[in-house]
Amino acid sequence: MSRTVFVLEGDKWLGDHYQQTLESRDFKVLRSDDPHEAMDMIDDELPDVIVMGLMFNGSGGIGLLHELQSYIDTAKIPIVLCTAQTSVPLEDWEPYGVKKLLNSSSMKPGDLIAAVRSVLA
């Protein structure tokens, strides 16, 4: 049974790359580039893990992190945060459900797969 990963990324190229990388390792991928749409989609089908960035047109990912933590079912979903804004340490993101922090400007495809697998273990 394949595990479901929800990809939320405002940059289309990065989102495509994340999706292709995950699907090549037999993960089922759900995807959005809008945090509001993402919350509706996540409510419809709870993923096993969320891979997300922080920058979106019109709104940021921090609001979604808050909203995810406000519901019992979505608060349990581990999050892999992919961002170039790595000045904030992982420990500060953990209250928002973030289990792994990846630098989107330097990460490799294998880093994404390793991070997803580690939060699912």
Mean pLDDT (the chain, rounded): 92
Which of the four pLDDT bands, split at 50, 70 and 90, describes residue 59?
low
Which of these, 58, 55, 4, lies nearest to 31 by C-alpha position? 4
**Encoded tokens for 72:** 């019992």
- Per DSSP, the three-state class of 116 is helix
The token pair at 51 is: 């891979």
Distance, in Å, from the CA atom of 21 to the CA atom of 67, rounded to the nearest integer, reads 27
- Domain 4-120 annotated CATH 3.40.50.2300: yes
The model's pTM is 0.93
> Is pLDDT above 90 for 60?
no
pLDDT band at 39 (very low <50, low <70, confident <90, very high): very high
Task: Give the pLDDT band of residue 1 (cuts 50, 70, 90).
Answer: low
Predicted pLDDT at 84 = 86
What pLDDT score does 61 carry? 82
**Residue ranges per structural domain of the chain:** 4-120
At 92, which helix (H) or strand (E)?
A: helix 90-93
Q: What integer is the mean pLDDT of 9-36?
A: 94
